[in-house]
Structure formats: structure tokens, C-alpha cells
């Protein structure tokens, strides 16, 4: 029927679905009183039969999924990413709205269903804190959706993300090139997929150069400046032996650790070198400037919007994963190791 040139009607959708015209109309217009499973079935059928087309999608919803919310806390990374999404959406003629979904809130499931049943919007899902299981409802969505800053190996999403593993390898190899062999790892306590990929990159770089990973120098800290600073103060007060360098899961962790070392009288980078990940603005003005992995945040947002608009116009397009390569930014936080 979709290829006949004549748009399918509510009545025909009713006959195909087995639901009354009133129920079909209410489901498509997101009115209350329709069972969520019924509404989802009707919406899916309407998309398959061409009733819901690109002409129906007028806006882009930026949905942030939060579990603990720790990764989003105080980080300028996400503000730059969101600004890029809004600018590109406006440039392409789409209005944007931002919805924060907190998994631990009582109305979480209800809000997810409301987002996924809204056929007038495409969804950019910032899934930094998503897991394979919590991604399931979004994977089953029938509306145009692009996963941003995340990847689920077992679920076929359209996704735009950064090269976490490769970026971490470049950071660790930079330390090795400066002569470091005893390299520690400051890991974010919340093991999101980005951090897991960065840990793989850390271990792969060490292995590639024949260097052993000393588990004594793998420290788990909160993924924020204050949290990292407080935890590293405790660690430094308890331990006298340290590696000559650290790779940190993100810049917030790296900067908090640098403050802690300086509080304890350590000189950076003479006594210890540190490399971060993200290239947030704080790192450039810190003393010494933080060597880090630059994530092209604006490009991430821009490409995600463009990919979503492609899906709005061609819902049956082949699913793709777009991965942006990062750059290493060399500043003053790395030097050759010295005898202590």
C-alpha cells in the first residue's frame, strides 16, 4: 500500500491492526487511555505502512539517560556536546528539546514510553551511562533514534561515538615514549562502557610494549575533580610507593589527582606525569597544562544530528556506527621519569 502513491488512512490502519479507528487515532496522537503495548503496536504498523513519514517528524529530542548521574556531574564535556547538537539541529530546521531520564526515579518507565511513543520527534540518545540491559527499550523503538557517545556490542543501534580504545592507547604510548615503564591507571569508579574501552586501550598499549600492568597502581576514584582529589589524598596518605606516571579515565579525574599530588608536595611533571582524556577547558589553564586526548565534541554532536535527519528521511536506511578518531594534545604534565 505504501508504494501505491495513496496515503494509508486511519480506517485502513484500524482494519490492519484490529483496533478501532478511535483507538488508532488516540495512539497516534499520544492521547491518554491507550494501553502502551497497543500504542506501540499501532505506531509500528503506521511507520511500516507509511502513515508516519518524515513530514510528521518536526523536532529532535535530546534524551540523556542517567543511572547514577556521576559521569554528568560538573563535566563541561556534555555542555559542549549539547550546544553542538542544538546548533546543528537549528541550522537544519529542527527544534530541539532536552529530556533527562533518571533510571532510579519512580516514573522512569512511564517517561521512557512517553518519549518512544512520540512519533513527531526523532531521538538523539546520549547513552554514556547505558548498559546493554537498560538499552533494550530504546533498541526496540520504532521512531528514528541515534545513540550518541555509546555503543552496545549486542544491540544494533545507529550510533555516533568516539574511539575510546585508540585514544587511550595513544595516551599511554606517549608516556612510554618519554621513558615511563611503571604506569598506573586512575579508573572512574562507575565502569561505563567508555571507561571500559579506555582500560582496554591502556592494557593493550602496555602489552604491545612488553610492559607489565602492576595491579598495585590501579586506583579506582570517583569521576569528578573533587571526588578524585579527595580519594587521591587518602591514597597518598596511605602509600609511599607510586608509579612514575598515570593514565586517567577522564580529565576530571586527572585534574583532581594532580591537585592531590601537589597538596602532598609532589612536583608535576618532575615527580609524576599524568595524561587525561576529553580535553576539557580546565585542563588547558591548569598548572601544568594537562596532556590529554582531545575528543571532537562539536563534531560528535554535528554528525549525530546529520545521521538522525538521514533516518528521519529514510527510516529503513542501513544501520551504521560512526566512530570519530581523537587527537593527542601535548601540554606540560608529562616529562621523562626521574629518580626519587
Write out the DSSP string of 109-123. Answer: HHHHHHHHT-TTEEE
**One fold for 51-162+299-325 and 164-295:** yes
Instruction: Summarize pLDDT for 72-83 with one digit per residue, the tens.
Output: 666 788 889 999
For residue 53, the model assigns a pLDDT of 58
Contacts with 183 (C-beta within 8 Å, 6 or more apart), sequence order? 172, 175, 176, 206, 211, 217, 243, 244, 245, 246, 247
Domain boundaries, the chain: 1-50, 51-162+299-325, 164-295
For residue 1, the model assigns a pLDDT of 40
pLDDT greater than 90 at residue 154 = no
Least confident of 67-81, 84-98, 231-245: 67-81
| pLDDT band at 4; cut points 50, 70, 90 | very low
Over residues 226-242, the mean pLDDT reads: 93
CATH number for 1-50 (one of 1.10.260.40, 3.40.50.300, 3.30.70.20, 1.10.10.1100): it is 1.10.260.40
pLDDT greater than 60 at residue 6 = no
pLDDT greater than 70 at residue 229 = yes
For residue 119, the model assigns a pLDDT of 80
Instruction: Compute the chain's Rg from CA coordinates.
Output: 24
Question: To which CATH superfamily is domain 164-295 assigned?
Answer: Response regulator (3.40.50.2300)
Over residues 105-112, the mean pLDDT reads: 92
Over residues 138-161, the mean pLDDT reads: 91
Average pLDDT, the chain: 90
Q: Which pTM value belongs to this model?
A: 0.81
Instruction: Summarize pLDDT for 48-60 with one digit per residue, the tens.
Output: 777 765 557 889 9
Q: Which three cell numbers stand for residue 92?
A: 537544519
Exposed/middle/buried for 3, CB within 10 Å: 0-12, 13-18, 19+?
Answer: exposed
| pLDDT band at 2; cut points 50, 70, 90 | very low
For residue 5, the model assigns a pLDDT of 46
Over residues 213-236, the mean pLDDT reads: 95
Indicate the CATH number for domain 51-162+299-325. 3.40.50.2300
Over residues 283-303, the mean pLDDT reads: 96
Least confident of 20-24, 157-161, 175-179: 20-24
User: Which residue would you say has higher pLDDT here, 120 or 166?
Assistant: 166
Amino acid at each position: 500500500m505504501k508504494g501505491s502513491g495513496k496515503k494509508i488512512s486511519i480506517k485502513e490502519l484500524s482494519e490492519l491492526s484490529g483496533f478501532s479507528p478511535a483507538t488508532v487515532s488516540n495512539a497516534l496522537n499520544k492521547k491518554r487511555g491507550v494501553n502502551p503495548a497497543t500504542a506501540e503496536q499501532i505506531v509500528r504498523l503506521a511507520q511500516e505502512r507509511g502513515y508516519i513519514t518524515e513530514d510528521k517528524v518536526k523536532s529532535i529530542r535530546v534524551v540523556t539517560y542517567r543511572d547514577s548521574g556521576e559521569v554528568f556531574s560538573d563535566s563541561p564535556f556534555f555542555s559542549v556536546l549539547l550546544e553542538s547538537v542544538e546548533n546543528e539541529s537549528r541550522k537544519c530546521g529542527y527544534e530541539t528539546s532536552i529530556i533527562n531520564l533518571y533510571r532510579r526515579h519512580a516514573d522512569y518507565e512511564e517517561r521512557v514510553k512517553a518519549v518512544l511513543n512520540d512519533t513527531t520527534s526523532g531521538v538523539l540518545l546520549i547513552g554514556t551511562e547505558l548498559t546493554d540491559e537498560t538499552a533494550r527499550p530504546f533498541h526496540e523503538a520504532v521512531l528514528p533514534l541515534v545513540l550518541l557517545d555509546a555503543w552496545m556490542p549486542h544491540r544494533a543501534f545507529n550510533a555516533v561515538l568516539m574511539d575510546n580504545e585508540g585514544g587511550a592507547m595513544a595516551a599511554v604510548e606517549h608516556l612510554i615514549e618519554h621513558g615511563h615503564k611503571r604506569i598506573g591507571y586512575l579508573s572512574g569508579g562507575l565502569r561505563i562502557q567508555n571507561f571500559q574501552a579506555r582500560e582496554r586501550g591502556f592494557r593493550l598499549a602496555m602489552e604491545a610494549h612488553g610492559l607489565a600492568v602492576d595491579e598495585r597502581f590501579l586506583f579506582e576514584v570517583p569521576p569528578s575533580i573533587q571526588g578524585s582529589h579527595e580519594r587521591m589524598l587518602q591514597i597518598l596518605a596511605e602509600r609511599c610507593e607510586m608509579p612514575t606516571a598515570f593514565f586517567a579515565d577522564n580529565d576530571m579525574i586527572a585534574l583532581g589527582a594532580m591537585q592531590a599530588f601537589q597538596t602532598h608536595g609532589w612536583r608535576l611533571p618532575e615527580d609524576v606525569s599524568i595524561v587525561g582524556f576529553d580535553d576539557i577547558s580546565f585542563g588547558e589553564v591548569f598548572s601544568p597544562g594537562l596532556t590529554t586526548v582531545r575528543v571532537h565534541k562539536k563534531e560528535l554532536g554535528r554528525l549525530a544530528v546529520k545521521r538522525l535527519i538521514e533516518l528521519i528521511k529514510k527510516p529503513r536506511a542501513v544501520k551504521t556506527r560512526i566512530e570519530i578518531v581523537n587527537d593527542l594534545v601535548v601540554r606540560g604534565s608529562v616529562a621523562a621519569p626521574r629518580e626519587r
